[in-house]
């Protein structure tokens, strides 16, 4: 009998994130799944984000007591129940009703932070009030800086723990596969319009009774009545600011009194600049392969960045994480934690809030198993000696591990 992934619709039967992806693909209209799953141009970066993990091999130890295993880590002085969090993904309400809230609630239940997207379909204040847990807020610095200032003020009043400013989208990536679904900008072609009708369960959940979700945190930026997908897209295209620079980070630092994280770093030089500008952390990322096609994976630069600035600021990483083993490899190379994007979105699309919980449980279970098989009872004991990777400079990896273990690093 030929091997194949689970092909049913019951997300509870998903054995891994790949199963959840397949369930999500069937439940969502094609244009929605393409929005979540696709990347820029030839999707070289998208594939690289996954293939990089195949080049890394574990070096397990044996005859180690692993009867008790602990994946708790500390981030910004507070414990996290696992070495990952849910990162910002825009327009989550397109995947399931109140998608942002479902993601936030699942993160809170799992004991990990949640980063609400700037392009969310629920207001920041509502998510914080109804979800509980540790909520962070993503911010794009548009041309209208007054919008950023107002959002910072809202985040502070709401009790948001950290602000995550995304810096790698001052120019939109070329997402050709996504655009092919439309006859005109954000107007579905006939084929995709008919495909929507083939997904009544999605229509009942997402479109009824309120219609297409709207952007709830962009109100101060958009013209009146333009918070629809089409209206917001046209307005945001004019608001992108290619002149964005480190001076803007300095300005934002002057406004925001809590943890400030720069998301969009993919070089050692920029990591050093981030530390010099007083931020508290960085996210190494290529934007999930959705911006510059042909860029390196964040994992490839992680060891050198961790060795250089890991003692000065918190180093986070995202891009291509589908297995608990992937997360353990990132910790081994010097990351303090991992941000999840598509992995939890697949769970959301497959089963709403319970689907996200299932995705998180899958990853936690995998991490627990990897720790036991590695002969490492605690994730805090994971270091570069657990990994064999020919692409990484042998002199850099021990330095990355040492940076990770310094108590003031996180």
DSSP, residue by residue, 231-277: HHHHHHHHH--TT--HHHHHHHHHH--SEEEEEEE-SHHHHHHHHHT
Distance of alpha carbon 135 from its chain centroid, rounded? 14
Q: Spot the catalytic one: 199, 277, 287, 385.
A: 287
Pairing state between β 182-184 and 187-188 = antiparallel
21-24 — which CB contacts under 8 Å span 24+ positions? 21/342, 21/346, 23/346, 23/349, 23/350, 23/351, 24/95, 24/345, 24/346, 24/347, 24/348, 24/349, 24/350
Contact 40, 175 (CB under 8 A): yes
Q: Is 290 annotated as a binding residue?
A: yes
Residue 2 pLDDT: 85
199 given a catalytic annotation:
no
Q: Is 380 annotated as a binding residue?
A: no
Q: Is 89 annotated as a binding residue?
A: yes
Q: Which domains does the chain have, with CATH numbers?
A: 16-175+238-405 (3.20.20.70)
Q: Is 83 annotated as a binding residue?
A: no
3-state secondary structure of 31: helix
Residue 398 pLDDT: 47
Residue 404 pLDDT: 46
Q: Is 322 annotated as a binding residue?
A: yes
Q: Is 175 annotated as a binding residue?
A: yes
Q: Consecutive sets of 10 residues in the chain, 410 residues long: mean pLDDT of each? A: 86 96 97 96 97 96 97 97 97 96 98 96 96 96 92 96 96 92 88 96 92 86 74 77 95 97 98 98 97 97 97 97 98 98 98 98 98 98 93 52 47
Q: Which residue in this structure is represented by tokens 């007591």?
A: 65
* Number of C-beta neighbours around residue 385 at 10 A: 14
Q: Which residue in this structure is represented by tokens 């999500």?
A: 24
Question: What's the rounded Cα separation, in Å, for the pair 183 and 190?
Answer: 8
Residue whose C-alpha is closest to residue 139's, from 115, 161, 114, 159: 115
* Number of C-beta neighbours around residue 98 at 10 A: 21
Residue 396 pLDDT: 52
Q: Is 319 annotated as a binding residue?
A: yes
């Amino acid at each position: 009998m030929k091997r194949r992934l689970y092909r049913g619709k019951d997300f509870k039967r998903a054995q891994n994130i790949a199963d959840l992806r397949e369930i999500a693909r069937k439940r969502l209209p094609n244009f929605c799944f393409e929005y979540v799953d696709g990347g820029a141009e030839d999707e070289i970066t998208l594939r690289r984000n996954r293939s990089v993990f195949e080049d890394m091999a574990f070096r397990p130890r044996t005859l180690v007591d692993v009867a008790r295993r602990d994946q708790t880590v500390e981030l910004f002085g507070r414990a996290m129940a696992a070495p990952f969090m849910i990162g910002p993904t825009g327009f989550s309400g397109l995947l399931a009703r109140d998608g942002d809230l479902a993601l936030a609630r699942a993160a809170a239940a799992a004991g990990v932070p949640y980063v609400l997207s700037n392009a969310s379909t629920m207001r920041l204040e509502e998510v914080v009030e109804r979800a509980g847990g540790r909520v962070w807020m993503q911010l794009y610095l548009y041309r209208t800086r007054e919008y950023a200032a107002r959002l910072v003020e809202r985040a502070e009043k709401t009790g948001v723990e950290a602000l995550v400013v995304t810096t790698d989208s001052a120019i939109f990536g070329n997402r050709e596969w996504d655009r092919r679904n439309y006859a005109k900008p954000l107007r579905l072609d006939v084929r995709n319009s008919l495909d929507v009708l083939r997904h009544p369960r999605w229509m009942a959940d997402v479109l009824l009774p309120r219609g297409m979700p709207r952007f709830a945190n962009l109100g101060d930026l958009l013209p009146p009545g333009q918070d629809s997908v089409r209206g917001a897209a046209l307005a945001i295209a004019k608001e992108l600011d290619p002149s964005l620079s480190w001076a803007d980070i300095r300005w934002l630092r002057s406004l925001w009194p809590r943890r400030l994280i720069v998301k969009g770093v993919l070089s050692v030089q920029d990591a050093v600049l981030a530390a010099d500008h007083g931020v508290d952390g960085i996210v190494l990322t290529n934007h999930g392969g959705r911006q510059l096609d042909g860029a390196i994976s964040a994992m490839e630069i992680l060891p050198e960045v961790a060795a250089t600035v890991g003692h000065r600021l918190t180093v986070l990483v995202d891009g291509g994480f589908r297995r608990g083993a992937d997360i353990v490899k990132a910790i081994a190379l010097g990351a303090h934690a991992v941000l999840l994007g598509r992995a939890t979105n697949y769970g959301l699309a497959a089963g709403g809030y319970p689907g996200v919980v299932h995705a998180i449980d899958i990853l936690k279970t995998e991490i627990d198993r990897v720790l036991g098989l590695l002969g490492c009872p605690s994730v805090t004991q994971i270091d570069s000696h657990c990994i064999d990777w020919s692409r990484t400079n042998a002199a850099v990896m021990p330095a990355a591990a040492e940076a990770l273990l310094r108590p003031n690093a996180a």
